[in-house]
Amino acid sequence: MLHLPDSLKSYFDDKNPAIKTAVDDLIPMLNGKKMPVTDWNEQRSFHKALLMAAKVRADYAEFLFGLHDAIWNGCAKLTDEDPEEYSPSDIWENNEIPRDFWLNDERTHWISLNVIMHDEKGRIIVRAYCTLSEDSDSFDVPDFVKAPEGWSNEKPSEDWINGIYSNGINLHHIIADPENAIAPLFHGAKSILSDIIAEQNKG
């Protein structure tokens, strides 16, 4: 069952934005090679703060993995997975988890199944989407997939890649009632996966 760790509850707490600001400032320093403070006690406090930021980043990635498992639950039925090399910093910076599968034996095209979190008018929104690719610069709406109810071929924003996108779900609704909140995404993903499996079975 989906669960938002306490570290993320604090991070996403609208009533205490200073925590989010501090974590956002600290995470780029996790791989830093220069100490930004010189005082002994400040250095010690700085490392404790880095530990907090690292936990937030790790919990954030785990939450996205959990969302992906819950929404794209049936993707284990797909064959010929193309493992995505997504680093912890990639997940944090892009706010998404992708999972890719080859569509045919020739491996000319792959389908990418994604869960993404983004800010929309001050709200944290969760979406799922799938896109068809034949190279790292080409993203199209898969014509063999019918957009289910609550999903659309329209991009949420002009700068997003082409694909089939779910309606957005407010993160706070997921926190309050995970199962019911993501149900529309799960049912839509189930329909999309059925179309992908049929395409894969064509060989």
How do residues 141-195 score in pLDDT, each as one tens digit? 999 999 999 999 999 999 999 999 999 999 999 988 999 999 999 999 999 999 9
Residues 156 and 190 in one domain: yes
- Out of 29, 47, 68, a domain closes at 68
**pLDDT at res. 108:** 85
pLDDT score at 203: 64
Q: State which of 35, 68, 101 marks the end of a domain.
A: 68
* Helix 40-71 vs helix 17-26: crossing angle, to nearest 10: 100
Closest by Cα among 96, 97, 103 to 78: 103
In a domain, 1, yes or no: no
- Note whether 118 and 51 are same-domain residues: no
For the chain, percent of residues with pLDDT exceeding 90: 63
Please, what is the Cα angle at 128 between 107 and 90, to 5 degrees?
Answer: 70
Same domain, 127 and 189: yes
**How many structural domains comprise the chain?**
2
Of residues 69 and 76, the one with the higher pLDDT is 69
Instruction: Identify whether 155 is part of a domain.
Output: yes
Residue 21 has pLDDT above 80, yes or no: yes
The reply to whether 97 and 156 lie within a common domain is yes
78-126 per-position pLDDT tens digit: 888 887 778 889 999 999 999 999 988 888 889 999 999 999 877 889 9
- Please report the pLDDT score of residue 163 as a whole number: 95
Q: Where are the beta strands (DSSP E) in the chain?
A: 81-82, 96-102, 110-120, 123-135, 138-140, 151-152, 164-166, 169-170
19 and 83 belong to one structural domain: no
pLDDT for residue 85: 75
Q: Are residues 33 and 109 in the same domain?
A: no
Residue 101 lies in a domain: yes
Asked if 156 and 173 sit in the same domain, the reply is yes
Mean pLDDT of 19-45: 87
From 39, 68, 97, the end of a domain falls on 68
Q: Are residues 46 and 81 in the same domain?
A: no
Asked if residue 20 has pLDDT above 70, the reply is yes
85 shares its domain with 36: no
Q: Are residues 64 and 93 in the same domain?
A: no
For residue 106, the model assigns a pLDDT of: 83
Same domain, 79 and 175: yes
What is the C-alpha separation between 166 and 200, in angstroms, rounded? 22
In-domain check, residue 26: yes
Same-domain status, 51 and 134: no
Provide the residue range defining the domain that includes 60: 6-68
Report which of 152, 91, 157, 95 is spatially closest to residue 121, judged by C-alpha positions.
157
**Strand 96-102 with 110-120, pairing:** antiparallel
Of residues 123, 113, 121, the one with CA closest to residue 165: 113
Prediction pTM value: 0.91
Residue 105 lies in a domain: yes
